[in-house]
Structure formats: structure tokens, C-alpha cells
Amino acid sequence: MVAEAVASKEFDFGILICGTGIGIGIAANKIPGIRAALCSDTFSAHATREHNDANILTIGQRVVGPGLALDIVKTFLNTKFEGGRHQNRIDKITEIEKKYYK
């Protein structure tokens, strides 16, 4: 599974596509260490990498056309995590995972 490979650091990022991108993202986010984000535009792809350090991109094939999908993927893969104040959010998410995934 892509999410397991990303969580184990076999890959830095994953890209998952289904009809809407919603269900596959819900499933991926069940894996500790995964921060899957549904993006339907380049702004969201940039923001989720820069602010949330998302490591899996989900796209809805019925929602996003092929040209835009490529732009979203390029933006997601080329945007760096900003860290700083945003790292606090990631730390809180990690603490929640530790609490519930025992």
C-alpha cells in the first residue's frame, strides 16, 4: 500500500487517485505518520505541503482534469515544508496519533 510505503520512509511522497479522492484519503490517513490531503487546485497543493507537510496527495479523477492534475502534482512535489510555526501543528498531530494508535 502506498501509505505504508510512505510511512516506512520507503518513499517521501505518495499520490493516490480515485473517483473523488475522498475515500482513498480517509483510508490513507488511518496509517500513523500519514498526512494525506485532497487537492483540487494548485493553491491547496502548495499550502498543504508548505503548512501541513502533507506526504500523500489525493486527487479526484472525476473532479480534476488531466492537465490540472499534472499541475497539482508538480506543485505538490516541488513545494517544501516551511517548518517554523507550522511544525507545532505537525507535533500536535503526532501526539494525537501516539494517543490513539497504541
- 39: phi then psi, degrees, rounded to nearest 5: -130, 130
Which residues are catalytic, by number?
A: 18, 51
Cβ atoms of residues 28 and 57 within 8 Å: no
Instruction: Identify residue 11 by its one-letter amino acid code.
Output: F
